[in-house]
Amino acid sequence: MFKNTVLKMGRVKWFNQAEGYGFISPVDGSDEIYVNRNAI
């Protein structure tokens, strides 16, 4: 796991398989999170 990692629960809002990135909408209502395929 990455150093200083924060674990959040959410749903995938959008993901581009070809580019390997997307966004997650956290269930707690906070701002969307950018996610790279290497982080999942």
Q: Is a pLDDT exceeding 70 seen at residue 4? A: yes
Domain definitions of the chain by residue range: 10-39
pTM of the model: 0.72
Alpha-carbon span 5 to 13, nearest angstrom: 21
Q: Is a pLDDT exceeding 80 seen at residue 1? A: no
Q: Is a pLDDT exceeding 80 seen at residue 2? A: no
Alpha-carbon span 13 to 40, nearest angstrom: 15
